[in-house]
Amino acid sequence: MTLKLAIKNIYAKPWRAVATVFVVAVAVALVFSMLSFSDAVFDYLFAVETASAGDSDLTLATNSVSDRILSVDGLEEVDGVKDVVPTLNMYALYQGGYVSLRGFDKGDYETLSDIEVVEGSVSDLDLNTDNVVISQDMAEEYGLKVGDGIAVKSGTKTINFYVVAIAKATGYFLGESPYLVIGNVKGVSRLIYGEYAVYNEVYLMAEDGANLDTIINTILSMPKYKDMTIGESQDAQYVTNQTNSMSAPVVIAGVGVLVLALAFVVLISLTSLGERKKFVSKLTVVGATKSQIAQIFLYESLILAFVGAVVGSILAGGVFALLLKVTLSSVVAFRISTIKLFGSAVIGFVTAVASVLIPIAISMRNTISANENERRKSVVWKALPIALVLTAVASVIVEFTAKGGRGSLSLVNVVLVLVALVVSVPFVLRALAKLLEKAPKATIKLTAKSLSRERRHTRLQILTAGMTVAMLLFMAWGLTTDIFTGYLVEFEDKVLVTNVPSSIASSPNIEGILDVEGVESAVPMVWRQGKMTEIGKGKTVNIIGSEKALDLIDFAFVTNETELRQSLLIPGNIVIDKAYQELYGLNVGDKVALEIEGKTATLTIAGITRHKLFNGNYVIASIGTFEDAYGIGADTVLVVADDAKLMAEKIRSQFVERNYYAQDALTVYQWDAESLGNVFDLVGTLAIVMAVLVFMVLVASAVASRPNGEKGRTAMLSAGMAKNTLLLAEVYEYAITAITAFVLSFAVSVLMTASLIGALRLFGLYFEFMYGADIVAIVGAVLSVGYALIPLITGFKKKYTLLRQK
Amino acid sequence: MKDKNVLIAQGITKTFDTGAPTEVLKGIDLEVNKGEFVAIVGESGSGKSTLLYILAGIDTPTEGSVVLADKDLATIGDAEMASLRRHDVAFVYQYDNLVPHLTAYENVTLPLLLDGLKEADYKDRVIALMTELGIGDRLKNYPNELSGGEQQRVAIARALAINPKLIFLDEPTGSLDRERGRQVMEILKDVNEKRGVALVMVTHSSAHAEYASRRIEIEDGRIK
């Protein structure tokens, strides 16, 4: 019986039901996407990062790019080593662009990773040393097919290879940059020496349970390998850090949208609170018990939440795929975790039921009489907004003053401040309306009286919450895009030249690079990734190995510049970013353990710098420090030139015999840049969707609640008010509401921005306070004007008629 | 409670706190006999509607007691109060009595549905009742498809559907024109006389008060 009435209730308000189902579905899909996003990004990045090494456990490499390994004697005999896969990796030119050539021993091609072919056969590689496999992307780019020949050039040598298979972008070919060509090691070696097999990297697969450190030590104790570098092939921590950086904005934006979606469920229910109260009253007067009434509403919310959860579960896979496609701009294979999907549906379902029940509980709280003659609120109810505001203020004070206050508390405060804002904004509007009651103009006076007497301001609350979140999302989009643009500007004039001999550091003209026409400056350096093993679960950092980096990149000096420059030259010293000071409490004089390619050294912090773009992502050391601590010499030359692409080509052609690998920095970091750009665009898309959604909900709510004020409007018209004046009064009402929402949202957005930035620390990210007042003002103004114009847009005037008594 | 009484109210006072305490009812004693038709009249603001709500258990008195159909309203819980409304007493408002998304028939049968009765047990009786009240052809219409008079007749049918001992009516003709008001009053008179259902009706119309067997006038919170 109660179920039947619940279904009747749902049918009675189809748009309310559709809106609730839609919001719950979006919430479920978002929860699932948020729960799965990090894992999917991790899997993808891990696959990209380990594309070369495949399933191997350890990678052994020569210490200098020019060194070669002629044989891998003794490695298979090392205890714990199961398999040894030597390869030759080198860059070469094909049709003016770089390709990466990779030579394997016969039969070893698929030992590290499977090659999925779309055309041809991998086994054909064994038929001839000139045979190669290329990727589908490369085949499409150059119009190649199986059987075609490709002339590849290195230095002065050109070798013709023949395509015997075309592979999918998986395994070795995943995220290839530049295009990868896999062939026989003897074939590839011909570009260097002739038809002898030479190698420069050896991949080792360990037996199950073998101790990798023991294997590393054993190999490094062998005279033949003692000067080589050996390390683990898979750096999960690095991938974790990368994943966090990429996931943070998406997760935070998603949580924001999720919280708002759930707030919408509450607010959608609140828009019909008056009608529900009447319904409760009518049921009570005919003898319905409280439990029967509760059952009706419970069934109603259960049905809507269930349908929403089911629809959300169906949409979840698509939304998630879209999210990955947009953020990673690549075909990403992912699995839908049934547990996560079920968990998301349950979270969405339970929260939606709870959200729907809150207003219902309010409507059931009073006696029938109170429902009929809306009674004044209780003292407790009145005190709630004050208590919430005070709690929010206290919590924010603790966040910004207490040591370690930023992080989890920041995230709590983002939600707390938003809730306090939404709960308290009606009081501010009423106070403003009270002031406006003294206005001389009758229309404003009447409007103000109406606003100050109105008990509920649900639409104002929707507008305020939606406006605040939209402001934050648009600002996040604007600021991150700014940073991203700065990142591109910082790199647009830089060329990275690798495959250079370590002697280049001591060459006065950098082996001739400095003399190339158009080169503004050239700095030999070590450009590696390392791990601060004792910091933040092994924080991965980019290591800029040159004291001259301070002149090339626009760093701000937190510690005294002169002292910092002098200290940096002392071997064993490094300079860190301010983020490490903020996140991990590191200071000048502290010692940190830094691991590079399996070798760990303890270094001293000599100074602290700050950089808006590379926030917390770099450590600067001198070349001397590198040589002393790790035995690594300069391996990269950073060249600055007006036109980086042109300069890269110029260096390639002028140093063709030395086979330098020169690429403009934006091409080198193209994937990272595209991914970051896509994440920021996603935040922008969420911002636009949010703003449109908020506006649509407001228009729908305004139209749906028109009958409520019909008596008042009739009274006004009966009293002789002109229709145009009534319309103007309604526009005033909407405008005053919009101004209140705008002013409060603007003020609170500053606080929420600070807390949001603090919350990023949970992801190991540190940013200085940033705020885009112009973006916030524009977003607020557009939404406010749009809201104020709703009476005009939706044709309120057409419905101005005196009520006809039936 | 005496056997003949369906309602006994003693010492009813009601004070509202609207800034300063306002005593709306000042010690009302009232008894209503079974099958009696009582009209409560008085000026606007005299407290007659407040009294009706208190007598019907919709509002609570500040002081005093109400015994309705042998039940002391101060001592019974929500479930017993709900049962009382499903079996013994009904209430008809001036307007807006009906659930908008239920048909006329569904509105009338709502208390029976809530009581867990099977439709087969009451369907014919309810249709006959609605036909008797002149709304037999409006069973499937929703409230917004009915005239004000028809809506009031649906509300009365709903009240009668439970075979109550007493029906409270708050200005039942207040939203109707004179002719429709008269029709409703005739129906109520019939209900009272033929079915023996006691009625307690608040009205400001002296003409409609004439239909009652007893008239009580409230003035300044007291029975005059």
pLDDT in tens, A79-89: 999 999 999 98
CB-nearest to B78 from A11, A286, A290 is: A290
Burial class (CB within 10 angstroms; exposed 0-12, middle 13-18, buried 19+) of A228: buried
Q: Could you tell me the residue ranges of all domains in chain B?
A: 5-223
Q: What is the DSSP string of A74-90?
A: TTTTSTTEEEEEEEEEE
Interface contact flag, A11 B101, Cβ < 8 Å: yes
CB-nearest to A289 from B79, B90, B99 is: B79
Cα–Cα distance for residue pair B175/B169, rounded to 1 Å:
13
Cα–Cα distance for residue pair B73/B33, rounded to 1 Å:
18
Find residue B10's DSSP bridge partners: B65
Output the pLDDT for position A376: 43
| Residue B138 DSSP class | G
CB A80 within 8 A of CB A211: yes
Interface contact flag, A369 B177, Cβ < 8 Å: no
Interface contact flag, A282 B87, Cβ < 8 Å: no
Distance from CA of B77 to the nearest CA of A (A): 10
Residues 267-286 of A with CB under 8 A from B: 278-279, 282-286
Residues 614-643 of A with CB under 8 A from B: none
Q: Which residues of chain B neighbour A367 with C-beta distances below 8 Å?
A: 58-60
Q: Per-residue b/e over A7-36, b at no fewer than 16 CB within 10 Å?
A: ebbbebbeebbebbbbbbbbbbbbbbbbbb
CB A427 within 8 A of CB A392: no
Interface contact flag, B158 A286, Cβ < 8 Å: yes
Average pLDDT, stretch B190-216?
Answer: 90
Q: Which residues of chain A neighbour B85 with C-beta distances below 8 Å?
A: 284-287
State whether residue A102 is helix, strand or coil: strand
| Alpha-carbon distances of A533 from A540, A730, B159, rounded to whole Å | 8, 64, 80
Distance from CA of A444 to the nearest CA of B (A): 27
Cα–Cα distance for residue pair A639/A523, rounded to 1 Å:
6
Residues from B in contact with A at Cβ < 8 Å: 53, 58-60, 78-79, 82-87, 90-91, 96-102, 106, 110-111, 113-116, 147-148, 158, 162, 175, 177
Sign of CA dihedral A348, A349, A353, A356: positive
pTM of the complete model beyond 0.95:
no
Q: Which residues of chain B neighbour A282 with C-beta distances below 8 Å?
A: 97-99
Interface contact flag, A282 B175, Cβ < 8 Å: no
Q: Map tokens 């807006």 to a residue.
A: B96
Cα–Cα distance for residue pair A347/A262, rounded to 1 Å:
11
Query: Terminus-to-terminus CA distance in chain B, angstroms?
Result: 24
Distance from CA of A17 to the nearest CA of B (A): 14
Q: Which residues of chain A neighbour B58 with C-beta distances below 8 Å?
A: 285, 367-369, 372
For residue B114, what is the nearest residue in chain A, using CA coordinates? A288
Q: Which residues of chain A neighbour B90 with C-beta distances below 8 Å?
A: 286
Interface contact flag, B162 A287, Cβ < 8 Å: yes
Nearest to B43 by CA among B208, B182, B206, B214: B206
Q: Which residues of chain B neighbour A4 with C-beta distances below 8 Å?
A: 113
pLDDT tens column, B96-140: 778 888 889 989 998 888 888 888 999 999 999 999 888 999 999
Nearest to A667 by CA among A650, A645, A651, A647: A645
Which H/E stretch holds residue B150? helix B148-161
- For the domain covering B5-223, report its CATH number: 3.40.50.300
Output the pLDDT for position A363: 67
Query: CB-based contact (8 Å) between A373 and chain B?
Result: no
Q: Which residues of chain B neighbour A1 with C-beta distances below 8 Å?
A: 113-114, 116
Query: CB-based contact (8 Å) between A287 and chain B?
Result: yes
Cα–Cα distance for residue pair A664/A493, rounded to 1 Å:
8
Interface contact flag, A367 B60, Cβ < 8 Å: yes
Query: CB-based contact (8 Å) between A292 and chain B?
Result: yes
Query: CB-based contact (8 Å) between A805 and chain B?
Result: yes
Output the pLDDT for position A374: 43
Output the pLDDT for position A750: 93
Q: Beta-strand (E) ranges in chain B? A: 5-18, 20-33, 37-42, 63-68, 71-72, 89-92, 166-170, 198-202, 214-219, 222-223
Work out the angle between the directed axes of helices B104-114 and B148-161 (0-180°, nearest 10).
Answer: 20
Output the pLDDT for position A375: 41
Interface contact flag, A805 B177, Cβ < 8 Å: yes
Output the pLDDT for position A806: 35
Q: Map tokens 């200085």 to a residue.
A: A768
CB A282 within 8 A of CB B108: no
Burial class (CB within 10 angstroms; exposed 0-12, middle 13-18, buried 19+) of B25: buried
For residue B56, what is the nearest residue in chain A, using CA coordinates? A285
Q: Which residues of chain A neighbour B53 with C-beta distances below 8 Å?
A: 369
State whether residue A166 is helix, strand or coil: strand
pLDDT tens column, A373-411: 444 445 666 778 888 999 999 999 999 888 878 888 998
Interface contact flag, A806 B113, Cβ < 8 Å: no
CB-nearest to B99 from A282, A290, A372 is: A282
CB A253 within 8 A of CB A686: yes
- B145: number of Cβ within 10 Å: 12
Q: Which residues of chain B neighbour A288 with C-beta distances below 8 Å?
A: 82, 114
Cα–Cα distance for residue pair B136/B147, rounded to 1 Å:
14
Give the dihedral of Cα atoms A288, A291, A294, A299; nearest 10 deg.
-100
Probe site for chain A from B78, B105, B114 (most A CB atoms < 10 A): B114
Q: Map tokens 């526009």 to a residue.
A: A731
Distance from CA of A310 to the nearest CA of B (A): 27
Interface contact flag, B85 A279, Cβ < 8 Å: no
For residue B149, what is the nearest residue in chain A, using CA coordinates? A806
Query: CB-based contact (8 Å) between A157 and chain B?
Result: no
Cα–Cα distance for residue pair A579/A616, rounded to 1 Å:
5
Cα–Cα distance for residue pair B28/B35, rounded to 1 Å:
21
CB-nearest to A279 from B83, B99, B177 is: B99
Interface contact flag, A1 B113, Cβ < 8 Å: yes
Cα–Cα distance for residue pair A575/A565, rounded to 1 Å:
9
Q: Which residues of chain A neighbour B111 with C-beta distances below 8 Å?
A: 286-287
Cα–Cα distance for residue pair A17/A23, rounded to 1 Å:
10
- The tokens for A392 are 């929010």
Report, as ranges of residue numbers, the positions in chain A whose pLDDT lies below 70: 64-66, 195, 235-237, 249, 253, 257, 271, 327-334, 359, 362-381, 536-537, 671, 711, 715, 718-719, 801-806
Among residues of chain A, what percentage have pLDDT more than 70? 92
pLDDT tens column, B141-189: 988 899 888 998 899 999 989 889 999 999 888 777 788 888 888 988 9
Interface contact flag, A287 B87, Cβ < 8 Å: yes
Distance from CA of A13 to the nearest CA of B (A): 9
CB-nearest to A368 from B58, B111, B116 is: B58
- A491: number of Cβ within 10 Å: 20
| Alpha-carbon distances of A697 from A9, A458, A622, rounded to whole Å | 20, 11, 58
Interface contact flag, A283 B99, Cβ < 8 Å: yes
CB A247 within 8 A of CB A39: no
Cα–Cα distance for residue pair A531/A538, rounded to 1 Å:
6
Interface contact flag, A287 B111, Cβ < 8 Å: yes
